[in-house]
Structures are given as C-alpha cells and as structure tokens.
C-alpha cells in the first residue's frame, strides 16, 4: 500500500529565509506526487505535481520540488519565504490504477516570523 510521511509537524522560519519541507513516500512503482497548500479555513490548492520526466518541478507562488527516487523523497523548497506563505502544506501520492485515489501525508504547519 502506498503511504506518505511528512516528518515535520511544525516548522517556523523568518521572512526572507529559505524553506524546505520534507516528504517521503512508500510505493513500488513510479508514483504520482503532489504538494497542496491549505490556508486557514480554506480548501486545498495544488502547488505542483510530478508524474514523469524532469525531476525538478516548478509550481505556483515560487515553489519547487525535487523527486529523488533513490531517497523516496519529494521535498518542497522555496528560496525566500513571504509572510503570506504561512499555511499548512500536504504532500500526496497517487497511483494510476486506483482512479482518483490520493494518499495524503499528515501535513506540515508553516509559521513565518516577521
């Protein structure tokens, strides 16, 4: 069965600092990988996705993520964090054979200090 682990429950960074959120997955074949962001009281919005090809993917709001098969990781990065990036971030993995079934990680809450 597929699974996703986000090791960091809560991360605090200063505005302007760089950010890396970790995501590790467990899945036998090449996974479909996603990062979503959830602002307080809102639904989830897709930041970026990886299906195949270039292992470094660019997303919205200046985010990028790198797929590393050898480490079973799909970490999210941003070079300079803005106060508006404070939110909860979810990594998710999917498999094509199960239709729209995604498995989500537990989430990482990001706090941005001024």
Partner 1 sequence: NAGVTQTPKFQVLKTGQSMTLQCAQDMNHEYMSWYRQDPGMGLRLIHYSVGAGITDQGEVPNGYNVSRSTTEDFPLRLLSAAPSQTSVYFCASSMGLVNEQYFGPGTRLTVT
Q: Which residues bind partner 1 (CB under 8 A)?
A: 4, 9, 32, 34, 36, 41-46, 49, 51, 90, 92, 94-96, 98-107
Which of residues 12 and 42 has its CB atom nearest to partner 1 in the complex?
42
* The two three-digit tokens of residue 67, written as one number: 């797929």
| Residue 82 DSSP symbol | -
Which of residues 17 and 46 has its CB atom nearest to partner 1 in the complex?
46
The distance of closest approach from Cβ of residue 107 to partner 1 in the complex, given in angstroms and rounded to an integer, is: 5
The distance of closest approach from Cβ of residue 14 to partner 1 in the complex, given in angstroms and rounded to an integer, is: 25
- Give Cα 8 to chain centroid, integer Å: 12
Q: Count CB neighbours of 9 within 10 A.
A: 9
CA 107 – CA 85 distance, rounded (Å): 14
């Amino acid at each position: 069965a597929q699974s996703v682990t986000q090791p960091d429950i809560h991360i605090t960074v200063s505005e302007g600092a760089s950010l890396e959120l970790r995501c590790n997955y467990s899945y036998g074949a090449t996974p479909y990988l996603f990062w979503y962001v959830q602002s307080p009281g809102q639904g989830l919005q897709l930041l970026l996705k990886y299906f195949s090809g270039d292992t470094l993917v660019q997303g919205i709001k200046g985010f990028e993520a790198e797929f590393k098969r050898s480490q079973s990781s799909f970490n999210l990065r941003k070079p300079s964090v803005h106060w508006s990036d404070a939110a909860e971030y979810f990594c998710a993995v999917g498999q094509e054979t199960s239709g729209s079934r995604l498995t989500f990680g537990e989430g990482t809450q990001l706090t941005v200090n001024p």
